[in-house]
DNA sequence: CGAGCCTTTGAGCTTTATCAATGTCGGTGG
DNA sequence: CCACCGACATTGATAAAGCTCAAAGGCTCG
């Protein structure tokens, strides 16, 4: 599995439709390291990948939830996405982060302009019309299973996030967030550390955690001062000792138990 | 519609299995007022109702999420349920309220003892083993559609709840909660008012809203003093003017747009 | 009728938001 | 190459929202 953030500054990025064989890469990429257990498919079924519309994303790029009035479905092949809700008065809340392997159905969001889906990184997303996607699932048992599992996994993640926002103090919330990122997009670095690129700006993180951006900055400074974190630059975070960090938030254990699906783990934990 | 708060000390209440025709009531009840549009089923398909295990609930009764190590699915026929998450240190957060028509898959909750599903009222719930339920959905297109819609609806509700907890002040949060209840379980009363039984105790409401119980009590007192609410007893709430109330929280509009599925509305809003 | 639990309400304190000033990064154009 | 600009980040002082603790009613159920 390769790196984390990309850094492309390409141009055309909207809906290139893939014909069945125009992009073997798609199928190949997504079947990935998949162990093809018929009962518990861990990889996105290639038959589905072939039928989607490829969207190349850039940081900050919005992904419209409805396409010609139709419901949509997105499969995150390689990117980090944010699903965000905006109230009438402009208050915004980051609801869920979506990582590679995740699937998002537009009906998961309240109707209207309140909801938006934004890519936080450069990457690739497959887009479907919901009715077409739904038919594909009917025809493909593995695809259906993949989708149902993905939905369940994300639902669990969102529940933990809600509990963190509702019950934890600001420090614990931030730590929970860092643990989430370390678990989902972190990669091992020297001396047992873990690195990841922070895909959100300070104010986006604050919005996600239900905190004030100033407060958040203060807390990050404190964690840095305490040596729990190192930041060579604004967007790169090294976690020295993930265990020490996670011990500081009650949500850590739950967050770390949620792996991303393609993770190469010896035992395929089922739920 | 009897009592509310905990205190059940009853005895037998678990799983009575229904044979195909032992409970015609089931099918009848759940097909309810359903308009049987093949494309968009609004009622829980009777074929599914017949196959579930009927669980009669009492206030405070826990519904175990795993059954002999198997994943489960619950269909709420008549009750209000609470899905709650508990952190290792005992902090608890109410994640979602489930109303009649809702469907809950145990995998929506993080694994382990952190999650629990509790009935807040007397009522009836149908329980399935997930693998059996999954097969039923494969065999029944309407059932599959019902399930997918239900999941989407609940996901949207949970997103709004998260945004309320993350962004709103305590008064707005409480008002959002009241608007949710009025929308979901409220019934018209005299003089254009709306009544509902509050299925949660003060401290459970506080837990759901991420507030302190004392603070919550204060705010309710204030709303009562301002005449927005009337409470003949602790568990009965009259909302004098739902529009006036909902104007006080930015989340109201979104919450009110989520109707429950069996609602007899002229137009069947699709998403 | 009494025990226990839930609720209400007050006083004081902690945490976090707000406001404002200053600093840093990255890009742009002279 | 440097000066400038705008967006983002940091940090301090202050204020307010909500939490904690404690005491005093109410309800409910044996």
pLDDT in tens, A232-257: 988 999 999 999 999 999 999 999 99
User: Cα torsion at B89, B90, B95, B100 (round to 10°)?
Assistant: 150
* B198, B247: one domain: yes
Q: Is the CB of A222 under 7 A from strand C?
A: no
Is residue B67 situated within a structural domain?
yes
Q: Is the CB of B8 under 7 A from strand C?
A: no
* A111, A201: one domain: no
The distance (Å) linking the CA of B181 with the C1' of D25 is 28
How confident is the prediction for chain B on average, in pLDDT?
A: 83
* B217, B251: one domain: yes
Token digits of residue B210 = 């991420």
* B146, B63: one domain: yes
Mean pLDDT of A183-193: 93
Is residue B1 situated within a structural domain?
no
Mean pLDDT of B120-138: 95
DSSP B18: P
Give the model's pLDDT for residue A261: 57
CA-nearest of B26, B47, B63 to B135 is B47
DSSP B108: G
Give the model's pLDDT for residue B32: 37
pTM to 2 decimal places: 0.85
Q: Does residue A19 have a pLDDT over 60?
A: no
Give the model's pLDDT for residue B253: 94
pLDDT band at B47 (very low <50, low <70, confident <90, very high): confident
A267/A92: higher pLDDT:
A92
* B29, B157: one domain: yes
Residue nearest to nucleotide C5 (CA to C1'): B7
Give the model's pLDDT for residue B258: 84
Closest-approach residue (CA) in chain A for B154: A108
Nucleotide with minimal C1' distance from the CA of B169 is: D17
**Which of B 174-213 have CB under 7 A of nucleic chain C?**
201-203, 213
Nucleotide with minimal C1' distance from the CA of A233 is: C25
* B122, B191: one domain: no
Q: Is the CB of B170 under 7 A from strand D?
A: yes
Q: Is the CB of A164 under 7 A from strand C?
A: no
Q: Is the CB of A236 under 7 A from strand C?
A: no
Chain A CB contacts of B88 under 8 Å are: 250, 253
* B59, B133: one domain: yes
**CB of B102 closer than 8 Å to CB of B154:** yes
Is residue B71 situated within a structural domain?
yes
Is residue B180 situated within a structural domain?
yes
Which residue segment(s) compose the domain that A195 sits in?
169-249
pLDDT digits (tens, 9 = 90+) for A29-56: 333 333 444 445 578 888 888 899 999 9
Strand positions, DSSP E, chain A: 16-17, 53-57, 66-67, 70-78, 81-86, 92-98, 103-105, 115-119, 123-129, 187-188, 194-197, 229-233, 236-239
Is residue B264 situated within a structural domain?
no
Residue among B89, B251, B271 whose CB faces A87 most closely: B251
DSSP B191: G
How far is the first Cα of chain A from the last one, in angstroms, to the nearest whole number?
Answer: 23
The domain spanning residue B252 has which CATH number? 1.10.10.10
Domain count, chain A: 2
How confident is the prediction for chain A on average, in pLDDT?
A: 84
* A192, A108: one domain: no
Name, in order, each residue with C-beta under 8 angstroms of A5's C-beta and a sequence gap of 6 or more.
A121, A122, A197, A199, A235
Measured CA distances, B84 to A192, B24, B110, B134, B208 (Å): 35, 33, 11, 24, 8
pLDDT digits (tens, 9 = 90+) for A199-237: 999 999 999 999 999 999 999 999 999 999 999 988 999
CA-to-CA distance for B134 and B103, rounded, in angstroms? 13
B270/B99: higher pLDDT:
B99
* B141, B176: one domain: no
Helix axes A170-185, A141-167, angle to 10 degrees: 160
Mean pLDDT of B21-43: 43
Of B163, B179, B206, which residue is a domain's last?
B163
* B130, B177: one domain: no
Sheet holding A81-86, edge to edge: A92-98, A81-86, A115-119
Name the least confident of A64-73, A107-116, B5-14, B220-229: B5-14
Is residue B221 situated within a structural domain?
yes
Of A137, A158, A179, which residue is a domain's last?
A158
Q: Does residue B83 have a pLDDT over 90?
A: yes
Measured CA distances, A258 to A159, A271, B59, B109 (Å): 12, 9, 32, 11
Name, in order, each residue with C-beta under 8 angstroms of B125's C-beta and a sequence gap of 6 or more.
B54, B55, B57, B63, B74, B75, B76, B77, B79, B81, B119
Name the least confident of A9-18, A45-54, B1-10, B215-224: B1-10
Decide: helix, strand or coil at residue B229: strand
Of B145, B163, B181, which residue is a domain's last?
B163
Is residue A262 situated within a structural domain?
no
Phi, psi (rounded to 5 degrees) for B191: 55, 35
Q: Does residue A12 have a pLDDT over 80?
A: no
Decide: helix, strand or coil at residue B198: coil
Pick the residue of B110, B158, B160, B246 with the most A CBs within 10 A to test the interface with A by mutation: B110
State the alpha helices, DSSP H only, in A98-241. 130-139, 141-167, 170-185, 202-209, 213-225
The distance (Å) linking the CA of B108 with the C1' of D28 is 36
* B148, B48: one domain: yes
Residue among B93, B95, B167 whose CB faces A91 most closely: B167
The domain spanning residue A26 has which CATH number? 2.60.120.10
Chain A CB contacts of B91 under 8 Å are: 163, 167-168, 250
* A42, A122: one domain: yes
How far is the first Cα of chain B from the last one, in angstroms, to the nearest whole number?
Answer: 31
Name the least confident of A27-36, A70-79, A115-124, B250-259: A27-36
Chain A CB contacts of B103 under 8 Å are: none
Element (H, E) at B201: none
State the alpha helices, DSSP H only, in A53-169. 130-139, 141-167
pLDDT band at A165 (very low <50, low <70, confident <90, very high): very high
Chain B CB contacts of A110 under 8 Å are: 156, 159-160, 254, 257-258
pLDDT digits (tens, 9 = 90+) for B205-263: 999 999 999 999 999 999 999 999 999 988 999 999 999 999 999 999 999 998 765 55
Is residue A90 situated within a structural domain?
yes
C-beta atoms of B159 and A209 within 8 A: no
């Amino acid at each position: 599995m390769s790196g984390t953030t990309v850094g492309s500054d390409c141009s055309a990025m909207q809906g290139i439709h893939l014909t069945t064989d125009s992009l073997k890469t798609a199928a190949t990429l997504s079947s990935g390291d998949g162990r093809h257990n018929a009962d518990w498919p861990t990889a996105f079924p290639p038959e589905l990948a072939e039928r989607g519309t490829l969207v190349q994303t850039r940081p900050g790029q919005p992904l419209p939830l409805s396409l010609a009035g139709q419901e949509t479905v997105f499969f995150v092949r390689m990117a980090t996405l944010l699903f965000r809700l905006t109230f009438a008065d402009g208050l915004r809340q980051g609801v869920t982060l979506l990582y590679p392997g995740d699937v998002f159905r537009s009906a998961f969001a309240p109707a209207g302009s309140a909801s938006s889906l934004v890519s936080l990184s450069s990457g690739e997303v497959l887009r479907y019309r919901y009715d077409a996607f739904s038919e594909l699932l009917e025809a493909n048992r593995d695809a259906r299973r993949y989708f149902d599992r993905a939905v369940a996994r994300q639902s669990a993640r969102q529940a933990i996030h809600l509990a963190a926002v509702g019950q934890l103090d600001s420090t614990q919330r931030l730590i929970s967030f860092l643990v989430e990122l370390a678990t989902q997009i972190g990669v091992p670095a020297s001396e047992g550390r873990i690195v990841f690129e922070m895909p959100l700006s300070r104010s986006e993180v604050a919005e996600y955690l239900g905190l004030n951006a100033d407060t958040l900055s203060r807390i990050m400074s404190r964690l840095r001062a305490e040596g729990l974190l190192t930041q060579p630059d604004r967007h790169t975070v090294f976690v020295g000792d993930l265990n020490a960090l996670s011990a500081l938030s009650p949500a850590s254990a739950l967050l770390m138990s949620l792996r991303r699906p393609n993770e190469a783990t010896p035992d395929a934990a089922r739920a």
